[in-house]
Amino acid sequence: MFLLRYIVLPPLIALLANLLLGRWWGRKTTATLACGSVLLSFLVSLRDSYYLYMITLPETRVASDVMFTWLSIGRFEIPVEFVLDPLSGAMCLIITGVGFLIHLYSVGYMWHDPGFRRFFVYLNLFIVFMLLLVLADNLLLLFVGWEGVGLCSYLLIGFWHADMKNASAGKKAFVVNRIGDLGFLIGLLLVFAAFNTLSVSEMQEIISDAIARHLPLPLAPLAATVICLCLFVGACGKSAQIPLYVWLPDAMAGPTPVSALIHAATMVTAGVYMIARLHFLYAFSPFASGVVAVVGAATAIYAAIIGLAQNDIKKVLAYSTVSQLGYMFLAVGVGAYTFGIFHLATHAFFKALLFLGSGSVIHALSGEQDLRKMGGLCRRLPVTFWTFLAGTLAIAGVWPLAGFFSKDEILIAARLAETPLISGRALFAVGLSAAFLTAFYMGRLFVMAFLGPCRVEADKQHHIHESPWTMTVPLIVLALLSAVGGAAGVYHHSFARWLSPLYGAPDAAPPAVEHFVMAASLAVAFGGLALSFLFYLQAPTLPDRLARTAGWLYRWVAEKFYVDELYEWIVVRPVYYVGVAGQAFDKHVVDRAVNWTGGGLKGAGFLLSFFQSGNVGTYAIWFLIGVSILLHVMR
């Protein structure tokens, strides 16, 4: 007996209760309800997933729950049906599990905020829509969740409206997401036109039926490509891929738990999930899959480059998220769905951890987000420091933390991939470079925030404090997950076996390739970290120490100078300029493109409103011209 609807209902009930009755009870009740409901969802998902696991035949590990018939188009019905299979089970666990931790964290983070209740209502609403998105069997229901999470995201970005003097960030997020939705909606209508259904399971049945009986497929290759690309445009918008990534860095205007939950762990991965869910469609179109892989790889490296030159702690993490999402798309693009989802899971752990850690830092520094005004926090914030360290090592890909395993698998899959667009070696090279940059900028972030001298402004120094338990407990749990999550997933291929009913058992890679990739990724991870430590921890003091030990020798002094310059000209400057160039491209080309589209449409609007002169005589003339044209046309 599966209790699928009870996964979704608790947060819904909690949010309704808080919305309608919340004014009569205090923050504690609000918080207990909000967190408890998500915990309950988590437990129910855990239970249902366990029951699913208990089904002996892996192929039949699907459970469904029809709540009611929602609507019907002609003779064709859309029920509100939840489907739990290994994929949605894994997603549910991530959403409710990480979601619960972030809820708990938010209690401490938002305690003094006047919009406490509103915040939790939005957060619960988000969880409801996200669960709807992953549990939906029908693409239309999925789209409801898709739009719903977008709406929540928008509401939460603008949560502190006073801070959003220029609503342009929110506007940008909205415009970009509508472009994505446009693609998605067109894809949806085309799917409907091709299959005459929007139910994923029915689509799959139709296809497998056609293959089994050697019938012509309902879908020409070209049509499959068009559908896949349309849907991918939607995924790009939601998951912040080139060229629709521009909204995500701006979305950091929202409270930090929101960034952790929505803009790192869950919502932005919806695109990856959607492609993984529709993998059978993408299987028909190697071209579309290739596009997904290329866009993913390009985003991975591009966002990593921009991340190098950011000084806002949350902006670094935002670009890092974009980059890691690129990895996931790279994985699903080369057909390694299992590892794409695996990376999604590990990323949810460590990126949520990093965001929450950064939130803890920001909280301690009374809202300071500039990395240049941090430093030396390791003593003052020990829990945050150690957990953040775990997160940094995990994302950098240091063995045996989570990021190493998932990234390693993706790189292997990329290395072995055969796409019609680009060779696997090139994808691998790009992925490896991005891994190097990731390690580098994360090391930089870590050093600038926690190590070295304290550069915090004097007036903020005295009340640096560790956060309350509601904030540190989630950090510790997430740190543990980041540490062991990856190893647990690859232990006996447990994660791959869990998803095997959908994607089949993964092929074992040739050991040579496997070892090579492992060594390379470890090398870049350590290389990147080491280099960043060298630059940002050692370099500032290097000159001093050199001067002290060999101060009596002019030549040494000269050489010291020379070393410094070398650093400056060969490494620091280029890296800096590449980062700045990326940022400039971002600002001047991508942003402008978004603005110009809006401006162009508005200009057209102005032009048209000019015709509306207010003069009724002119209206009559237009009327008459219309009649004349119609008379000419219709004869």
Partner 1 sequence: MITLQEYLSVGALLFTVGLLIVLFRQNAISILMGIELMLNAANINFVAFSNALGGLTGQVLAIFVVVAAAAEAAVAIAIIVLLYQNLGTVDVEKARNLNG
Partner 2 sequence: MSHLLPDILFYVFSALSVAGAVLVLVNRNPMTCAMSLVVSVLSLAILYLLLSAHFLAVAQMIVYAGAIVVLFIFVIMLLNLTDEELGRFRFSLFKTIGAFVAVATLLAVAPDIRVSIPAPAAGDAGAPAGYGSTKAVGKLLFGEFLLPFELTSILILSAMVAGVVLAKRELQPKKTHSLVDWLLGFFRT
Partner 3 sequence: MISITAADLSGISPALHLAVAGIAIMLLDALWPMRSKLLSVWITLAALGCSLTTSLHRLTAGVDVTLFNGAVRMDGYAHAFSAIICLASTLAVLSAPKYLRLRGVHLAEYYALLLFSVCGMVLFAAAEELIMLFLALETLSIPVYCLVGFTRTNVYSTEASMKYFVIGAFATGFLVYGIALLYGAAGSGYLVDLRAGAARAPGLFYAGMTLLLVGFLFKIGAVPFNMWTPDAYEGAPTPVTTFMAEAVKAAPFGGMIKVLFVGFGFDAAVGLWQPALVVIAVLTMTVGNLTALVQTDVKRMMGYSSIAHSGYILVGILAASKLQSADALAAVLYYLFVYVLMNAGAFGILILFSHKDKDTNAVEDLTGLARERPWAAALMAVYMLSLTGLPPLAGFFGKFYIFSYAVKAGYVPLVIIAILNSVVSAYYYLKVIVAMYFRGPEDTGRAAVFHYEGYSVFLLAMLWFTAWGILYYGIHSEPQLALARLAASSLFATAP
Given the rule CB under 8 A, which residues bind partner 1? 609, 612-617, 620-621, 624
Sole window of 359-367, 405-413, 558-566, 620-628 interacting with partner 2 (rule: CB under 8 A): 620-628
Neighbours of 538 (CB within 10 A): 13
Q: How far apart are CA 584 and CA 552, in angstroms?
A: 45
Size of the site for partner 3 (CB under 8 A): 59
Among partner 3, partner 1, partner 2, none, residue 70 binds (CB under 5-8 Å by kind): partner 3
Q: How far apart are CA 371 and CA 374, in angstroms?
A: 5
Q: Indicate whether 181 belongs to the interface with partner 3 (CB under 8 A).
A: yes
Residue 32: alpha-carbon gap to chain centroid:
27
Phi then psi dihedrals of residue 625, to 5 deg: -60, -40
Kindly state the smallest distance separating residue 174's Cβ from partner 1, in Å: 25
Among partner 3, partner 1, partner 2, none, residue 179 binds (CB under 5-8 Å by kind): partner 3
73 or 547, CB closer to partner 3?
73
Contacts of residue 304, defined as CB under 8 A and 6 or more positions apart, other chains included, come to: 319, 320, 323, 434, 437, 438, 441
Residue 591: alpha-carbon gap to chain centroid:
20
220 or 621, CB closer to partner 1?
621
Q: In 3-state terms, the chain is what percent helix, strand and coil (to 5)? A: 75, 5, 20
Among partner 3, partner 1, partner 2, none, residue 181 binds (CB under 5-8 Å by kind): partner 3
Closest CA to 362 of 468, 470, 449, 444: 449
Among 40, 127, 155, 219, binds partner 3 (CB under 8 A): 155
Contacts of residue 66, defined as CB under 8 A and 6 or more positions apart, other chains included, come to: 79, 80, 81
Cβ atoms of residues 350 and 320 within 8 Å: no
Kindly state the smallest distance separating residue 140's Cβ from partner 3, in Å: 7
Identity of the amino acid at 205: E
- Within 278-367, residue ranges assigned H as helices are 279-282, 286-308, 313-333, 337-364
The conformation of residue 585, written as its DSSP 8-state character, comes to: I
Sole window of 190-198, 294-302, 337-345, 619-627 interacting with partner 2 (rule: CB under 8 A): 619-627
Kindly state the smallest distance separating residue 30's Cβ from partner 2, in Å: 36
166 or 609, CB closer to partner 1?
609
Q: How far apart are CA 7 and CA 96, in angstroms?
A: 9
193 or 621, CB closer to partner 1?
621
Among 20, 193, 589, 624, binds partner 2 (CB under 8 A): 624
515 or 602, CB closer to partner 1?
602
Q: Indicate whether 60 belongs to the interface with partner 3 (CB under 8 A).
A: no
Q: How far apart are CA 525 and CA 573, in angstroms?
A: 21
Residues of the shown chain interacting with partner 3 in the complex, contacts defined by CB under 8 A: 68-74, 140, 143-144, 147-148, 151, 155, 158, 161-162, 164-165, 167, 170-171, 174-175, 178-179, 181-182, 185-186, 189-190, 192-193, 598, 601-602, 604-606, 608-609, 611-612, 614, 616, 618-620, 622-623, 625-627, 630-631, 633-635
